Amino acid sequence: MDTISSIRGPLGLMALFAILVLGACVDERVVFEERPLFDDPPAGAQGFVGYSDAEAKRTVCGACHVSQQARWSETAHADAWATLADSPNPRAFCEACHTVSERGNPVEGDAGWTATGNPRYYDVQCEACHGPGLDHVTVPDAPGSQPLATIGLGAAADQACADCHSGVHRPFAEEWAASSHGDMNPFPQGRPECQSCHEGKGALRAWGVKSIFSPQDQAELQAITCAVCHDPHDGRHDGQLRFALDAADLEQNLCMKCHNQRGEPDLGSITGGQFRGPHAPEGPLLLGTAGWHPPNLEFRPGEILGTHGSEANPRMCAGCHVTDFEMQDPETGDFVFRSTGHTFEAIPCVDDDGLPTGEADCGLTDRSFRSCTDGCHGSEAAARSALIVAEGRINDLAEDIGEMLDQIPDDQFGDPDRFTSADGSLFNMQLAQMPGSAAHNPFLIEALLRASMRQLEADYGEFVSIPETVSLERRLTPH
Ligand code: HEC
Ligand code: HEC
Ligand code: HEC
Ligand code: HEC
Ligand code: HEC
Ligand code: HEC
Ligand code: HEC
Ligand code: HEC
């Protein structure tokens, strides 16, 4: 370990103790004050300091920011130069994205590697995102000297992940911008209770990320940007994600952390004479816990999983919604198209050649089901017809229960002192009608709708009975 000259702050001694005892387990905000030893940057570098020891991948920044250095060195960014050098066709124009340069940060003109060709700038180091650090390294607490990386990707796209992660061979930024994660709704403004899922900084705060945001980030609402899902400093989870994809746990699964606002009726949520309906219930649906559970339910919440929420689909949500693929010309073998899966569509609209059209409202026959065939369904056609069948059954049941609800007197709905089976059945009907429910957990939805019907008949027999066409006997057998 480098010499520690002094440690700032009241936690200094404790932190030093922690470093000695726990090794890597130190407070992320612990930094040392003294300027570390490194050679002055070469002329033309524009203030980038890079590595103090390129061989050991020791960044100058890492002498003080010990925890970020330790975790970053495990990410793919720390190997970017070797990846390029070992590839069959390394060329000069490739290098700016595989090194510390003007790419990815607010610097114009040649800088770092592109200005100097010095190995201290190999790899996507700290300053590739944070910008040049010489001033900060020299006087770390000089006001405004801290190089705060942006989490934004809007107008300043050339100063962030997008500057490297874009183009026809890697269109992460382009696809993300076309997705609803890249859309910024104005409604979270000033509403922390919405921001924890609908705004980038709000989500990071809710997850305990304590960084100081750049003035530009602070001034603007941020969408669900790259740095919300991806941890810039941590390669612990596959794809450098902040949380795992395979966790069957609403609190530990990246997608479910947000896609879980109201999966069950919230008895405190009455509005306009109705209990609020489902809101992003996809996580609880997949895990089998969603819905209003009538007293007569013949299974326990969580019991009806279906394949899509089981270990047979280890990437869970991403197994269907994040599919990376490349298309070659069948005759020449030349590259035609790459999708990174960052539109987050499970079954995107495609043209006759199978290329995504970017439309949102085509029919099921004009959609690609390629994400379903990766080791699961035998063919796209088989997956498509499975969905058509499930959707048909669920739509029919939802329609039937809707007709039953129409017969029940209005005063049975939305009484804040009494949650009725009419309120609960309405919730389950809305759950069934959410886009994707037939894929997320058709077995659970069917079971909930049938149980709701039985409960309605028991409670409101004078007004309604279960339509004869509905068979309650059908055994539910999740495949
Ligand atoms: C000599 C020690 C030292 C070095 C080297 C150093 N820093 Fe810092 N850094 C600090 C200190 C001390 C602070 C806290 C400053 C303050 O509170 O005013 C800080 C703060 C920061 C912050 C803001 C932290 C927050 O809480 O949000 C960032 C970002 C940062 N440094 C990035 C870097 C980068 C990138 C490098 C390499 C170019 C670097 N630092 C090199 C000591 C250092
Ligand atoms: C615009 C920035 C940029 C340029 C220019 C660039 N790369 Fe990359 N490269 C990336 C990014 C970002 C990734 C990782 C993301 C991904 O999987 O596409 C990557 C990944 C790679 C990988 C590992 C993943 C894979 O595709 O096998 C190799 C090898 C590679 N690049 C080689 C090259 C070569 C060779 C060139 C020049 C012909 C080049 N790169 C030019 C940004 C760039
Ligand atoms: C891929 C881009 C990227 C790289 C590489 C990167 N950072 Fe960061 N860094 C960010 C972003 C974005 C934030 C704000 C979000 C966050 O904290 O996760 C940040 C936040 C920070 C902070 C504030 C406190 C914290 O940890 O959240 C410090 C300090 C920091 N980085 C230092 C470093 C150092 C030191 C390195 C190199 C060892 C480094 N960063 C590499 C993008 C990057
Ligand atoms: C200077 C260019 C550059 C910038 C800026 C940059 N990256 Fe990268 N990134 C790369 C390259 C090059 C690779 C491929 C490295 C390799 O495979 O060796 C890569 C790889 C990755 C990977 C793949 C990790 C894996 O496990 O395979 C992720 C995820 C990633 N970057 C996310 C980000 C995010 C998020 C940001 C912004 C906060 C960002 N990158 C900023 C160039 C960059
Ligand atoms: C626990 C996370 C979470 C919280 C908190 C949350 N939402 Fe959402 N919301 C989501 C997700 C995820 C979606 C998209 C998925 C879906 O529509 O099923 C969504 C969708 C929406 C939509 C419909 C999609 C659109 O953009 O038109 C509206 C409107 C909405 N939320 C409003 C709000 C408001 C207002 C608040 C605060 C009172 C809020 N949400 C709080 C997660 C959340
Ligand atoms: C809503 C969450 C989310 C957002 C936002 C997001 N990603 Fe991803 N990204 C993922 C998931 C999930 C994967 C798949 C990881 C896996 O399967 O291991 C992924 C994969 C990647 C990979 C390939 C990693 C690998 O292992 O090969 C790169 C590179 C990447 N993303 C970059 C970006 C960039 C750049 C942005 C912003 C333009 C971005 N991502 C935005 C969730 C997200
Ligand atoms: C930080 C919270 C957050 C995370 C993490 C997140 N999402 Fe979202 N997602 C949202 C919000 C909010 C929306 C609605 C955006 C809007 O319409 O304004 C949304 C929208 C979507 C949509 C489109 C819904 C529509 O109506 O068009 C899909 C599909 C989706 N997310 C899938 C995923 C997947 C898959 C993951 C995990 C890889 C994921 N999300 C991770 C918050 C999140
Ligand atoms: C078995 C594949 C599969 C899995 C697993 C899956 N989805 Fe879906 N999802 C779909 C399909 C198919 C649709 C319907 C898409 C459509 O109609 O455009 C959909 C629709 C959605 C929608 C609404 C999109 C819209 O356009 O309104 C959201 C949001 C969503 N899924 C999020 C998630 C989340 C979050 C998870 C994990 C908890 C998840 N999905 C798991 C296949 C899946």
Q: What is the pLDDT of residue 29?
A: 56
Q: What is the pLDDT of residue 26?
A: 42
Closest to 278 measured CA to CA, from 82, 408, 429, 70: 429
Nearest CA to ligand 1 atom 16: 141
Q: How far is the CA of 68 from the centre of ligand 2 (A)?
A: 24
Nearest CA to ligand 1 atom 36: 61
CA distance 71 to 264: 38
For residue 477, pLDDT over 60 is answered with no
Q: How far is the CA of 307 from the centre of ligand 7 (A)?
A: 22
Token representation of residue 328 = 């070659």
Q: How far is the CA of 306 from the centre of ligand 8 (A)?
A: 15
Average pLDDT, integer, range 226-245: 97
Check pocket membership of 276 for ligand 5, CB cut-off 6 A.
Answer: no
Nearest CA to ligand 8 atom 39: 317
For residue 203, pLDDT over 60 is answered with yes
% of the chain residues with pLDDT over 70: 90
CB-CB neighbours of 149 under 10 Å: 22
Average pLDDT, integer, range 422-428: 97
Check pocket membership of 130 for ligand 3, CB cut-off 6 A.
Answer: yes
Which is more confident, 404 or 13? Answer: 404
For residue 18, pLDDT over 90 is answered with no
Per-residue pLDDT band at 48 (split at 50, 70, 90): very high
Average pLDDT, integer, range 54-60: 95
Q: How far is the CA of 56 from the centre of ligand 4 (A)?
A: 20
Dihedral angle, C-alpha 146, 152, 156, 162, nearest 10 °: 110
- HSE-up of residue 268 (Cα within 13 Å, Cβ side): 0
Query: How distant, in Å, are the alpha carbons of 51, 130, 157, 236 from that of 213?
Result: 25, 12, 16, 23
Ligand 6, CB cutoff 6 Å, lining residues: 153, 161-162, 165, 172-173, 176, 181, 224, 226, 228-230, 238-239, 241, 245, 315, 318, 322, 342
Q: How far is the CA of 99 from the centre of ligand 4 (A)?
A: 11
For residue 276, pLDDT over 70 is answered with yes
Nearest CA to ligand 6 atom 9: 239
Q: For residue range 66-106, what is the model confidence (pLDDT) as tens digits?
A: 999 999 999 999 999 999 999 998 999 999 999 999 999 99
Q: Which residues of 82-104 are buried (b: 16+ CB within 10 A; e: fewer)?
A: eebeeeeeeeeeebbbbbbbbbb
Nearest CA to ligand 1 atom 37: 61
**Ligand 5 atom nearest to 257, measured from its CA:** 1
Check pocket membership of 315 for ligand 4, CB cut-off 6 A.
Answer: no
68, 151, 163: residue to mutate for ligand 3 pocket, most atoms within 8 A of CB: 68
- With 0-12 CB in 10 A as exposed, 13-18 as middle and 19+ as buried, what is 259? buried
Q: What is the pLDDT of residue 475?
A: 46
Per-residue pLDDT band at 156 (split at 50, 70, 90): low
Query: How distant, in Å, are the alpha carbons of 15, 220, 353 from that of 215?
Result: 29, 9, 45
CA angle 356/284/297 to nearest 5° reads 125
Nearest CA to ligand 4 atom 40: 161
Check pocket membership of 87 for ligand 2, CB cut-off 6 A.
Answer: yes
Q: What is the pLDDT of residue 21?
A: 33
Q: How far is the CA of 263 from the centre of ligand 5 (A)?
A: 12
Q: For residue range 112-130, what is the model confidence (pLDDT) as tens digits?
A: 999 999 999 999 999 999 9
CA angle 261/324/129 to nearest 5° reads 75
Check pocket membership of 233 for ligand 3, CB cut-off 6 A.
Answer: yes
Q: What is the pLDDT of residue 374?
A: 82
- Please state which of the ranges 347-351, 370-374, 467-471 shows the lowest mean pLDDT: 467-471
Average pLDDT, integer, range 466-472: 82
Q: How far is the CA of 90 from the centre of ligand 7 (A)?
A: 37
Q: Please give the mean pLDDT across all residues of the chain.
A: 89
Q: Which amino acid is present at 19?
A: I
| Ligand nearest the Cα atom of residue 196 | 5
Ligand 8, CB cutoff 6 Å, lining residues: 255-256, 259, 282-283, 286, 308, 313, 316-317, 319-321, 346-347, 435-436, 439-440
CA distance 470 to 261: 31
CA distance 238 to 75: 10
Which is more confident, 269 or 209? Answer: 209
For residue 250, pLDDT over 80 is answered with yes
Per-residue pLDDT band at 424 (split at 50, 70, 90): very high
Q: How far is the CA of 134 from the centre of ligand 4 (A)?
A: 23
Q: What is the pLDDT of residue 300?
A: 83
Per-residue pLDDT band at 22 (split at 50, 70, 90): very low
Q: What is the pLDDT of residue 50?
A: 98
| Ligand nearest the Cα atom of residue 259 | 5
Closest to 85 measured CA to CA, from 71, 75, 70, 95: 95
CA distance 354 to 37: 56
For residue 260, pLDDT over 90 is answered with yes
Q: How far is the CA of 262 from the centre of ligand 5 (A)?
A: 9
Q: How far is the CA of 259 from the centre of ligand 7 (A)?
A: 7
**Ligand 2 atom nearest to 96, measured from its CA:** 5
Q: How far is the CA of 63 from the centre of ligand 8 (A)?
A: 44
Per-residue pLDDT band at 23 (split at 50, 70, 90): very low
Q: How far is the CA of 198 from the centre of ligand 6 (A)?
A: 18
Per-residue pLDDT band at 190 (split at 50, 70, 90): confident
- Please state which of the ranges 95-104, 173-182, 351-360, 465-474 shows the lowest mean pLDDT: 465-474
CB-CB neighbours of 137 under 10 Å: 20
Average pLDDT, integer, range 3-7: 34
Check pocket membership of 94 for ligand 2, CB cut-off 6 A.
Answer: yes
Per-residue pLDDT band at 308 (split at 50, 70, 90): confident
Nearest CA to ligand 6 atom 16: 239
Q: What is the pLDDT of residue 88?
A: 94
CA distance 106 to 152: 12
Q: What is the pLDDT of residue 86?
A: 97
Q: What is the pLDDT of residue 104?
A: 96
Query: How distant, in Å, are the alpha carbons of 152, 207, 258, 259 from that of 192?
Result: 19, 13, 14, 17
Q: How far is the CA of 168 from the centre of ligand 2 (A)?
A: 11
